[in-house]
Amino acid sequence: DADVTQTPRNRITKTGKRIMLECSQTKGHDRMYWYRQDPGLGLRLIYYSFDVKDINKGEISDGYSVSRQAQAKFSLSLESAIPNQTALYFCATSDEDRTGELFFGEGSRLTVL
Amino acid sequence: AQSVAQPEDQVNVAEGNPLTVKCTYSVSGNPYLFWYVQYPNRGLQFLLKYITGDNLVKGSYGFEAEFNKSQTSFHLKKPSALVSDSALYFCAVRFNQGGKLIFGQGTELSVKP
């Protein structure tokens, strides 16, 4: 089983719909992140959480919200999806005290029509 | 502003030839530098990092990177490219321990037989 699991892997939805992307991890890391990948723009940070009671905005948080339900779970929501939110979304975890390395999920491809 | 740049969108190399994927950064202070690789339909995988010490860092799959403080660069290199090295490569920088990771826009490496 993957250390960082994202569901769904692919989703097509319509403008205005509410969408939730879920992430769970078995690495025991406190820190979790949501990134968005667009061609030519690299990865941009949406939200991050350093522990269960901590939520922080990244560089492109508008239109998104998150919930840290437990140490192992971090979900990303689009309350009212719009076409320019069509992208590949990645969840990642890290253990900052040791290596600073991020561990990524396989990604969730979202298409908003 | 703190930033990281990958000046080449695509790098083409013949199998067996050396490869270089370029990365430069803009920073105040000492950076923590990373390279990640993304294979098709997969999440990002950690390749190597520079935190401190020897400027030449060795990583996974035979890759290495050289930190050059005067040129603010952290280029990824491999002496002999393989077709299986074809992937999307991301440089990333963190400007302090525990800080957020900022990604470059990515470079598509294509290795032809």
3-state secondary structure of B32: strand
Task: Tell if the CB–CB gap between A58 and B103 is shorter than 8 Å.
Answer: no
Which residue in chain A is spatially nearest to B43 when comparing CA positions? A106
For residue B102, the chain A residues in CB contact (below 8 A) are: 45
Residue in B23, B14, B33, B24 with CA at minimum distance from that of residue B85: B14
Split at pLDDT 50, 70, 90, the class of A27 is very high
Work out whether the CA dihedral A92, A97, A98, A99 comes out positive or negative.
positive
Buried b / exposed e across A59-88, counting CB within 10 Å, b at 16+? eebeebebebeeebebbbebeebeeebebb
**pLDDT: is A42 or A89 the higher one?**
A89
Tokens of B95: 């400007």
Per-residue pLDDT band for A40 (boundaries 50, 70, 90) equals confident
* Interface check A4 vs B, CB under 8 A: yes
CA distance B5 to A109: 25
Among A40, A42, A101, the residue with its CB nearest the CB of B103 is A42
State how far the Cα of A14 lies from the Cα of B105, in Å rounded to an integer.
28
Q: Is A94 exposed, middle or buried (0-12, 13-18, 19+ CB in 10 A)?
A: buried
Q: How far is B32 from chain A (nearest CA, A)?
A: 9
- Looking at the complex, does the CB of residue A79 fall below 8 Å from at least one CB of chain B? no
| A and B: number of Cβ contacts within 8 A | 52
Residue B26 pLDDT class (50, 70, 90 cuts): confident
Q: CB-CB: which of B36, B42, B98 is closest to A106? A: B42
Cβ distance A92 to A102 under 8 Å? yes
List residues of B whose CB lies inside 8 A of any A CB.
Answer: 6, 9, 32, 34, 36, 41-46, 49, 51, 90, 94, 97-98, 100-106
Range from A28-32, A96-100, B23-27, B101-105 carrying the lowest mean pLDDT: A96-100
Closest by CA to A15, choosing from A61, A71, A63, A72, is A63
pLDDT of residue A78: 96
Strands (E), chain B: 3-5, 10-14, 19-21, 24-26, 32-38, 44-50, 56-58, 64-68, 73-78, 87-94, 102-103, 107-112
The verdict on a CB contact (< 8 Å) between B45 and A101 is: no
Q: Report chain A's C-alpha Rg in angstroms.
A: 13
- Structure confidence by residue, pLDDT tens digits, A51-84: 999 999 998 999 999 999 999 999 999 999 999 9
Verify whether the Cβ–Cβ distance A100 to B32 is below 8 Å: yes
Q: Which residue, A23, A10, A4, A9, is CA-closest to A77? A: A23
